[in-house]
Amino acid sequence: MHRFEFVKSSYSSGNGECVEVARNIPHTVALRDSKRPGGPVVTVAPVAWGAFTADLRRQQP
């Protein structure tokens, strides 16, 4: 069984509010709160993650 390999977002700050993302499993992007590594994991399709991050980039000043 594959295990997610999470990395912190490059936009995460040092204040402890970090999102971790894993993209090492085919056809899946996994997200979790870095403060709760044993907590829930949200999974989405790569196309959904791409649309989400593209929208975030469009909204930046």
pLDDT tens digits in sequence order for the chain, 61 residues long: 579 999 987 767 667 678 899 999 999 999 999 888 899 999 999 999 999 989 988 886 6
What pTM was computed for the model? 0.80
33 is a domain residue = yes
Residue 22, domain member (yes or no): yes
- Pick from 10, 11, 6: nearest CA to 28: 6
* Cβ–Cβ under 8 Å, residues 20 and 34: yes
**Token representation of residue 7:** 């990395």
Q: What single-letter amino acid sits at 6?
A: F
Give the model's pLDDT for residue 13: 67
How far apart are the C-alpha atoms of 46 and 23, rounded to whole Å?
A: 8
Q: Give the three-state DSSP class for 30.
A: strand
Is 1 inside a domain boundary? Answer: no
Residue 49, φ and ψ in degrees, nearest 5: -65, -40
User: Residue 33 belongs to what domain range?
Assistant: 7-59
Whether 2 is in a domain gets the answer: no
pLDDT score, position 42: 96
